[in-house]
Amino acid sequence: MGKEVILLKLGEIALKGLNRRTFEDALLKSLRRRLKSAGEFSVSSVQSTVYVEPLEETADLELAEKRCAKVFGIVGYVRAAQVEKDLKKIREKAAEYLQETLEEISSFKVECKRSDKKFPYKSPEISAEVGAYLLEKYPHLRVDVHHPDLVVRVEVREQSAFVHSETKPGAGGIPVGTGGKAAVLISGGLDSPVAAYLMAKRGVELVAIHFASPPYTSEQAHDKVVRLLRKVSEYAGRIKMITVNFTRLQEEIRDKCQEDLSTVILRRFMLRAAEQIAREEGCHALATGESLGQVASQTMEAIACTDAVVSMPVFRPLIGADKSEIVKLSYQIDTYDISIEPYEDCCTIFTPKHPRTRPILHFVEDAEKAIDGEGLLTKALENIETMQIWPYES
């Protein structure tokens, strides 16, 4: 007794009904997988809280905390001192465990949650006892119940008591794998990595499809996408990345198709390719980083023209987001600095000077007839490259 643990608070999972166990099992499996390289830990769930307990002295609790912070399904997390359910020991542990913070602040309050109703003291009594002891140990402190510098939290649970400070916000969402499997179209820009993150937050296992056009796009551009996916995988877990060579198809569109429709035609072939790959990978939907009205290919009319070539649902988690919101999320998941690196991607080469913003479907279909689209697509899909992206290189 007396070791430090990590307490993880469940979010939406706690509201699930008869299938709650399925969500919890997926969450615990994900946590154990993420914590492997941080040392030996016990991971268990009791009363809407997951306990992460080190089983050896060499276990890296700081690294474990960072990993837990990025696991979907966790709404909050905190490191806590585990202590015997004895009021004297609880108050002594509070003074010892939070010493460094208590010495630096001027006000505090104590909040207690007593899940074990057999414990002889009620929550207000525990809070009063711990608060009085802290005032005695740290005379410079004062109690402020409205705006304290620190909230000292005591939890009395079935197996033991825990002392900690404020709970930090977790990644939220639901565990990856509980929301199905989807193929996300990934470029090197700001939007698609954020869209991938948001899909994973809703429990979706990701397959990433990247379109490259060498020599117009470089190895650095491909590496940029790999690094972006590695950042996303810190939240989403393992991601299978499939790269499709679109050089010949893009050259044919550039040389033979109506220029102002070339962008929407390219998008249609991307969705065709993505749908074929998605079905082979066992996916049930596609996902893109499109935001309504952001560029010419993202108007309602253009989106309708691209979606017309697939029967699979196409999710667009950023459809109502403006650029500032997307940038904010890219900072949050640490993809912004990579996304703004100046390497051309497939979507930015051969861009027409005046793209059609409101294309009409039958005109687009007629314009496509100028090329052997089906043959070119078949050849492109015969030469795909596949790699696995893992959250942590070590």
For the domain with range 181-389, which CATH number is right: 3.40.50.2300, 3.30.1660.40, 3.40.50.620, 1.10.150.120?
3.40.50.620
Label residue 393 by pLDDT band (50, 70, 90). low
Q: What does the pLDDT look like over 18-65, one tens digit per residue?
A: 788 899 999 999 999 999 989 999 999 887 899 999 999 899 999 999
Query: In the predicted model, what is the mean pLDDT of residues 338-347?
Result: 84
pLDDT at 1 over 80: no
Q: What does the pLDDT look like over 200-213, one tens digit per residue?
A: 999 999 999 999 99
Looking at domain 88-151, its CATH architecture is: 2-Layer Sandwich (3.30)
The answer to whether 162 and 82 are in contact (CB under 8 A) is yes
For the domain with range 1-84+160-175, which CATH number is right: 3.30.2130.30, 3.40.50.300, 3.20.20.10, 3.40.50.2000?
3.30.2130.30
**Better-scored residue on pLDDT, 293 or 238:** 238
Query: In the predicted model, what is the mean pLDDT of residues 120-124?
Result: 94
The answer to whether 85 and 161 are in contact (CB under 8 A) is yes
Matching fold, domains 1-84+160-175 and 88-151: yes
Q: What does the pLDDT look like over 327-339, one tens digit per residue?
A: 999 999 999 999 9
Label residue 394 by pLDDT band (50, 70, 90). very low
User: Strand, coil or helix: what is 233?
Assistant: helix
Nearest to 3 by CA among 63, 67, 79: 79
pLDDT at 2 over 70: no
Residue 217 CB-density burial (10 A; 0-12 exposed, 13-18 middle, 19+ buried): buried
What mean pLDDT, rounded, does the chain reach?
Answer: 93
Cis, peptide link before residue 139, omega less than 30° from 0 = no
What are the boundaries of each domain within the chain? Answer: 1-84+160-175, 88-151, 181-389
Q: Return the beta strands (E) in the chain as ranges.
A: 4-10, 41-46, 49-54, 74-83, 107-114, 142-143, 150-156, 161-164, 168-172, 181-185, 205-212, 239-245, 285-287, 314-315, 385-389
User: Sheet holding 181-185: strands in order across?
Assistant: 314-315, 285-287, 181-185, 205-212, 239-245, 385-389
Its pTM surpasses 0.95? no
pLDDT at 131 over 90: yes
